[in-house]
């Protein structure tokens, strides 16, 4: 009884490492830039019947509308408020998506942009997705509300106010990431505003969060926010379930900020995974498949029960973020299928599958000058629906890697490496090595 009670307590405390996916499902898919209406349909018609555990969605909150370049995908990483309207849909559509996906056992994971608001050069006015007024020059965001006092300007010690040196921990966490106005998460007021946003999403029924730019927030500040979070909605989750937390920390080595500093808060994104797997499959640096024998911690990765793994993400598939040239994407279809198949088959970490849209890549001096291009859209700027072709692939410019035969975790009537080798038990075992019963 005593031991059982202790295990229960430990399991309860460590809940943020558990993906909260329904039993038997072992991965989530990032439906990058999809409309809420399409995510809901995809949960019902494809993800649930094919064994997907959940969906990472693009940031649902109000953001700046950028017009130069024209509505880039990255405008969604420039918040104006925590109102739930974005290019993907409004609050009614968001609630409908969460309920419909949960009802078929597919959970929703929100990309939470809480490190900053919009870029310093965003100006002033109402060019935001819900029409809220803001003034980036005076750091005034009345729709939250945040004012100048809620930002880190006085703490930042770099000359420009931006992060200039990734070797300087304080700069990375107190200065502006590419000029994005950096929130003062040391203030209880700011923590409460952020927690209020996340709690609203929890109330609606989401299962967890990707914490964008976690590396740029002090782990202790993040913990203070997470401590304010409610348990998940009992309409779909057992009482006492904590939100799943995975933090975007880019740690390829060589910088003082390391993934391990964030283990206390939840899982972390293991960027070495995709970078190394790409190197092996491309046979660069004399690498061979045989060397994957000790894939995982043996390669210097974080412990399995702290890792969120992926072959590519929305940044490094187009040269943003980190990972470098070895990263495999849908553009290298054959090797990509092998990489994702391997990831799904291997028990290390909790996997996230990428699902992308096409854009016109155009390289000038090795750089894709069209890396900004947003999702397929109509002339009025609205995102195009995801259409489904007769052969079950997607149309209208959507790539839908998650529907590729070799990738889909459990295609009806088919077998993949994933269904043969990767079992819910393996994930649970990896989660329970230090988290007790995978709670």
Binding site for ligand AAO (CB under 6 A): 74-75, 77-78, 113, 119, 121, 166, 177-180, 212-213, 215, 248, 250, 252, 255, 315, 320-322, 324
- Shorter beta-carbon distance to ligand AAO: residue 180 or 399: 180
> Cβ 73 to ligand AAO, closest distance in Å?
8
Active-site entry in 212, 251, 312, 315:
212
> Cβ 403 to ligand AAO, closest distance in Å?
24
**140, 297, 303, 306 from 434: Cα distances, Å:** 44, 14, 10, 10
Q: Is 285 a catalytic residue?
A: no
| Span between the terminal Cα atoms of the chain, in Å | 18
The token duo for 339 is: 């990489």
Give CA–CA dist 243/233, Å, rounded: 10
- Shorter beta-carbon distance to ligand AAO: residue 161 or 385: 161
- Shorter beta-carbon distance to ligand AAO: residue 71 or 430: 71
- Shorter beta-carbon distance to ligand AAO: residue 69 or 385: 69
Query: Which of 137, 118, 134 lies closest to 126 in space, CA to CA?
Result: 134
Active-site entry in 182, 248, 305, 315:
248
What is the b/e burial string over 267-291, where b = at least 16 CB atoms within 10 angstroms of the residue's CB?
A: bbbbbbbbbbbbbbbbeeeebeeee
> Cβ 120 to ligand AAO, closest distance in Å?
7
- Shorter beta-carbon distance to ligand AAO: residue 307 or 388: 307
> Cβ 318 to ligand AAO, closest distance in Å?
9
Q: Is 212 a catalytic residue?
A: yes
> Cβ 331 to ligand AAO, closest distance in Å?
18
> Cβ 269 to ligand AAO, closest distance in Å?
9
Under a CB-based contact definition with an 8 Å cutoff, are residues 400 and 391 in contact?
no
Give CA–CA dist 270/302, Å, rounded: 7
CA dihedral (87, 90, 96, 100) in degrees, to 10, reads: 10
Give CA–CA dist 369/362, Å, rounded: 6
Query: Which of 28, 24, 27, 57 lies closest to 40 in space, CA to CA?
Result: 57
- Shorter beta-carbon distance to ligand AAO: residue 78 or 356: 78
Q: Helix H segments across 123-187?
A: 169-174
Interstrand relation of 387-388 and 367-368 (parallel, antiparallel or unpaired): unpaired
Give the nearest residue (CB) to ligand AAO.
119
Residues labelled as active-site residues: 212, 248
């Amino acid at each position: 009884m005593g031991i059982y009670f202790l295990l229960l307590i430990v399991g309860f405390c460590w809940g943020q490492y558990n993906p909260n996916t329904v039993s038997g499902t072992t991965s989530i898919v990032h439906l990058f830039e999809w409309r809420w209406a399409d995510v809901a349909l995809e949960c019902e018609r494809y993800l649930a019947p094919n064994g997907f555990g959940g969906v990472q969605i693009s940031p649902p909150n109000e953001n700046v509308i950028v017009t130069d370049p024209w509505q880039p995908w990255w405008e969604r990483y420039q918040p104006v408020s925590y109102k739930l309207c974005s290019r993907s849909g409004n609050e009614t559509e968001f609630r409908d998506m969460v309920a419909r996906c949960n009802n078929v056992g597919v959970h929703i994971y929100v990309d939470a942009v809480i490190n900053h608001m919009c870029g310093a050069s965003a100006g002033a006015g109402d060019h935001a997705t819900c029409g809220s007024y803001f003034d980036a020059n005076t750091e005034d965001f009345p729709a939250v509300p945040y004012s100048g006092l809620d930002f880190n300007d006085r703490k930042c010690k770099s000359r420009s106010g931006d992060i200039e040196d990734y070797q300087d921990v304080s700069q990375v966490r107190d200065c502006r990431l590419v000029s994005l106005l950096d929130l003062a998460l040391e203030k209880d007021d700011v923590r409460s505003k952020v927690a209020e946003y996340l709690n609203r999403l929890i109330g609606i029924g989401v299962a967890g969060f990707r914490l964008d730019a976690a590396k740029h927030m002090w782990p202790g500040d993040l913990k203070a926010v997470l401590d304010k979070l409610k348990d998940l909605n009992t309409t779909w989750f057992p009482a006492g379930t904590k939100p799943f937390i995975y933090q975007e920390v880019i740690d390829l080595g060589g910088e003082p900020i390391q993934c391990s500093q964030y283990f206390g808060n939840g899982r972390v994104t293991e960027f070495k995974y995709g970078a190394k797997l790409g190197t092996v499959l491309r046979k660069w640096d004399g690498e061979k498949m045989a060397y994957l024998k000790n894939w995982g911690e043996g390669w210097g990765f974080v412990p399995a029960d702290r890792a969120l793994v992926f072959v590519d993400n929305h940044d490094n598939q187009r040269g943003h973020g980190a990972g470098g040239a070895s990263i495999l994407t849908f553009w290298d279809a054959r090797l990509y299928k092998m990489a994702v198949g391997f990831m799904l088959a291997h028990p290390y970490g909790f996997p996230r599958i990428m699902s992308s849209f096409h854009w016109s890549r155009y390289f000038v001096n090795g750089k894709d000058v069209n890396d900004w291009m947003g999702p397929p859209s109509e002339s009025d700027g609205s995102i195009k629906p995801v259409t489904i072709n007769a052969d079950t692939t997607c149309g209208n410019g959507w790539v839908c890697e998650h529907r590729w035969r070799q990738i889909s975790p459990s295609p009806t009537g088919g077998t993949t490496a994933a269904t043969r080798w990767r079992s819910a038990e393996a994930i649970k075992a990896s989660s329970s090595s230090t988290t007790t019963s995978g709670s």
